[in-house]
Structures are given as C-alpha cells and as structure tokens.
Amino acid sequence: MKVAQFSRIGFIMAAAGSAVGLGNIWKFPYMTGEYGGGAFVLVYLITIAFIGFSVMVAEMLIGALGRRDTVSSFERLAPPSQPGWKYAGFMGFNGLIIMTFYSVVIGWIFYYLFEIFSGLPTSTEAAKATFDNLVANEPGIQIFWHTLATLIVTYVVYRGIKGGIEKTNLVLMPALMIILFGMLVYAFNLDGFSKAFEFMFAPDWNKLNSEAIVRAVGHSFFTLSLGMGSIMTYAASLPKHTSITKAAFIVTFMDTLIALVAGLVIYTFLFHEGAPAAQGPGLVFISLPVVLSNFGILGTVLALLFFLALSFAGLTSAVSLVEPVVQYIIDRFDTSRFKAVLIAGSAYYLVGIGALLSYTKAWGSTFSIGGKPLFDILEYTTDSILLPLGGLLIAIFVGYVLQKERVYAALEHEMGEKYFAIWRFSIRYIAPVALIFMILNLMGILKI
Ligand code: PFF
Ligand code: NA
C-alpha cells in the first residue's frame, strides 16, 4: 500500500497545523499563569530547543524512511532480530485517546463562538456561571457540539492526505496566523503589553518548583505533537527531496512563536483590565470574555476572531490525531478509508461522550474511576505518561536501533557533520535521560 504525498508547503502546513493547537492558545497561556510566568517559559523554551526539536527530527525520520503507517514503519525499519519494535508503532493509538477530550474542548469553542453573538459576560461571576453551567449541567448541548466537531474532523480525514488534510491546513493555518498576528499588533498598542511582556519573559526563579519543570517538559512534547505518531504519519507522505531538518525547524519555530504570541495577546488584555494572571483552564473561557466585554463592540469582534483562531488551531490538530489510526487500519486491514474513518471516529466519539459526562452533575460519579472523572484520567494518561513514553521509544529507536549509517545518510547532508553529531548526542543521551527522569518522577519513584 503506497501512501499519498504532500506537496512541500502542504507538508509544512499540515505538520505545523498538527503542532499548533489548543496546546498553544489555550493550555500554554494558562499554564504560564499557573506556574508563575517567565521562569516556566524559559524552561519550556530550553526543552524545546534541546530536546523537542531533536525528537521532532527523529520522529519525522522514522516516518520518512518507513513510508507506512506507524506500526508498519517500525516493523520495516527494525532489524529482524528485534521484531518487537513494531509494538512501538501503536503509539499512533494515543491520538484517539487524546481525541476523546480534545474533541469535547473543540465543542466548547464552537459553543462559545455561537454564544458570542448574544453578548459577552460583563462579570467574572457571570462568565464562570456560563462555563460551569455548560460543563456541569448541559450534556445535551455539549454532545451536540462534540458531534459537530467529530463530523468536521472525520470528513477532512476521510478526504485523505491531499484532498482533505493538505487543503484544510493550507487555508486554516494562514488564516489563524493572520488573526493572531493582527491581534498582536493591536495588543502592542495597549498599556498592558509591557506588563505582559515582562510577565512572560522576566523569570522569577522563586516561582519555579519541580512540578513546574515536569509540566514544562511534558507540555513541550504535547505542543510539538511528539510521541504519538502524528508527525510520523504525516512524514510517511513527505515529498521526496524535502529537508527533514528544515521542516522540523520551521514547524518547531512556528509552534513556539504562536504559543508566545497567544500568551502575549491574552495577558495584554488581562493586565490591561487589571485582572490577575493565575486563572487555570478557565482562562480563555472565563477571564478573556469578561476582559473583552470592556472593549465594547470591538471586544465582541476580538472575541469572535480569537475563538475562530482557536477553533482552527484545534481542528487542524484533531485531524492529525485521527489520521495515524486511520492510516494503520487502511494499511493493515486493507479496508477503505471510509470504513477506517468510521471505526476510528466512532471509537473516540463514544468515549468522548463518557468524558464529557464525567464532568456533569448527573453522570459524574458513573463516569469516574476512584473519584477521578474520566476526562481527567484520559488527559493525564496521555499527556503525562503515554506521550513521554512515545518520545522515549522514538529517541531510543533512532539513537540506538536504526543503523547509524542509515541515519547518517539521511541527515548528514542536511545538517553537516558538526550539527549531526550534536543532534545525535541529544537523541542518544539528553532526550532519553530527561524523559526517563520525567517518567520516574511521575510514577512517584523519583521525586525531584
Ligand atoms: N500539538 C497539539 C497542541 O498543541 O494542541 C496537540 C497534539 C496534536 C498532540 C497531535 C499530539 C498530537 F499527536
Ligand atoms: Na502545539
């Protein structure tokens, strides 16, 4: 089974579309607020530069050399004496687990886009009541928007690499960047901007604790879409003669830039109105609408644009979360794309309903395990366990299992000898050590 090929710009936009997501515009800003600003941002940037980028190159390399679904690619590239590596390819299934809650959050964004037309909330209490009520008391409304999100995402995936994924990203990614950079220009002229800049870039080391470090490392993997086979699956359709190093660099750069811009924009608005930074996950759903309500009609327009950009970011990432399993089903079971999408889509859609019900008053206890809502369990498991594990497997496979000559042949002419040596050092030592450290820490075995 031969996979379709992206155009070069199509691949960059699709991989950037995968990376730039809710992680950048929703999660990164509120995590920065929760963990105290500059110091957290610095750890995040360092991890991206020294580990994230190297693993991105490694994950793209497996896809580009394997040219199949994730399981088949590992199987094909592993030496015959180590057939077990094919199981690493099942990291592609993490995408579906993420989709169970990712789709629900995209649903919330759709709901907000729609609600903006009936006016922005003018007090935090009102805004909190709207959000809490949606999550706790309105399973029907949430299922409606989760269904719509699922239909859009599965339709795009059904249309395939070229006709669906590439096309969608070529439109939505530029649109998203225009909106966000436009908002940055506007924010730049507000009083809150210098405060926001200082908050994000002047590290206050007293606020940095071990939890913040672990979260920053974990988030740098989530935000770059690493360790789940998304980037690998897209790279299987990498057009020939494309520099993996360059592509990985552009995608990493864009993802980081957009997270920083989103943070600056949101904190400028917040500080402009004197609101505090630490808001948690409700930041864009509760605080931002209230702050924007003070800007009059312009605020409504800004809110609309912001949630539009957020929905574009979410949709392009969602597509990349579903594609690995779809590609796997098509390749391994010789089924049609339609059937594969139907199977993968229904699986995450149904569990997603369980996830959203786990936050409701009526069904919360039914959909909880050991007092923890299913939503949180799914998020924690992927974000904090499966994803670093996937990253670790990729680093070990490329650093120790793939023949050095092969890796060298693929990358040396792109990087040059010196940078190749640095990259390989990062993949063989820095990334595995950091990831093992993190996994042990999360399991509570090693406390830092
Ligand atoms: N990188 C996406 C974000 O920042 O929202 C989320 C994501 C997409 C994670 C695809 C993993 C993945 F494979
Ligand atoms: Na991201």
Q: Ligand 2: distance of its center to the CA of 21 in Å?
A: 5
284 contacts 266 by C-beta, under 8 angstroms: yes
Compute, in angstroms, the gap from residue 191 CA to the centroid of ligand 1: 33
Residue 103 predicted with pLDDT over 70: yes
- Give me the pLDDT at residue 353, please: 98
Using CB distances shorter than 6 Å, the residues near ligand 1 are 18-19, 21-24, 95, 98, 222-223, 225, 228, 230, 317, 320-321
pLDDT of residue 380: 84
Burial class from Cβ neighbours inside 10 Å (0-12, 13-18, 19+) for residue 410 reads middle
> pTM of this prediction?
0.95
1 has pLDDT over 80: no
pLDDT digits (tens, 9 = 90+) for 40-80: 999 999 999 999 999 999 999 999 999 999 999 999 999 99
Q: How far is the CA of 29 from the centre of ligand 2 (A)?
A: 12
Res 276: pLDDT: 84
Regarding predicted confidence, which is higher, 197 or 210? 197
Domain locations in the chain as residue ranges: 8-442
Residue with the nearest Cα to atom 10 of ligand 1?
A: 225
Identify the residue whose C-alpha is closest to ligand 1 atom 9.
225
Whose CA is closest to 19, among 218, 224, 157, 173? 224
Q: How far is CA 263 from CA 201, 305, 381, 435, in A?
A: 11, 16, 26, 26
Average pLDDT in the 15-19 region? Answer: 98
**Which residue CA neighbors atom 7 of ligand 1 most closely?**
225
Residue 124: what pLDDT? 87
pLDDT tens for 251-277 read 999 999 999 999 999 999 999 888 888
By DSSP bridging, strand 372-373 and strand 368-369 are antiparallel
Q: Ligand 1: which of 22, 59, 225, 383 to mutate, most ligand atoms within 8 Å of CB?
A: 225
CA–centroid distance, 20 to ligand 2, in Å, is 4
Query: What ipTM is given for this predicted complex?
Result: 0.98
- Helices then strands, each counted (H, E), the chain: 22, 2
Q: Which ligand is nearest to the CA of 258?
A: 2
Whether the predicted pLDDT of 186 surpasses 90: yes
Share of the chain above pLDDT 70, in %: 98
Give the mutation target among 103, 222, 255, 260 for probing the ligand 1 site: most ligand atoms within 8 A of CB.
222
Q: How far, CA to CA in Å, does 174 sit from each of 166, 181, 237, 388?
A: 13, 10, 21, 30
Mutate to test the pocket of ligand 1, among 98, 257, 348, 383 (most ligand atoms within 8 A of CB): 98
The pLDDT value given to residue 383: 77
d(CA 409, ligand 1 centre) in Å? 29
The Cβ of residue 152 has, within 10 Å, a number of other Cβ atoms equal to 18
Atom of ligand 1 nearest to the CA of 28: 4
- Which candidate, 98, 52, 89, 50, places its Cα nearest to that of 71? 89
Coil/strand/helix, residue 368: strand
Q: How far is the CA of 319 from the centre of ligand 2 (A)?
A: 14
The one-letter amino acid code at 84 reads G
- Domain 8-442 fold: Hydantoin permease (1.10.4160)
Ligand 1, atom 11, residue with closest C-alpha: 225
To the nearest whole number, what is the mean pLDDT of the chain?
A: 94
pLDDT band at 210, cuts 50/70/90? Answer: confident
19 CA closest ligand 1 atom index:
1
pLDDT digits (tens, 9 = 90+) for 362-388: 999 999 999 999 999 998 888 778 989
- Please report the atom of ligand 1 found closest to the CA of residue 22: 5
- Strands of 193-302 (E only): list them: none
Whole-number Å distance, alpha carbon 370 to ligand 2 midpoint, is: 31
Task: Specify the 3-state DSSP secondary structure of 446.
Answer: coil
Better pLDDT: 444 or 250: 250
Residues with CB under 5 A from ligand 2 (ion): 19, 21, 23-24, 223, 255
Which pLDDT score is estimated for 448? 53
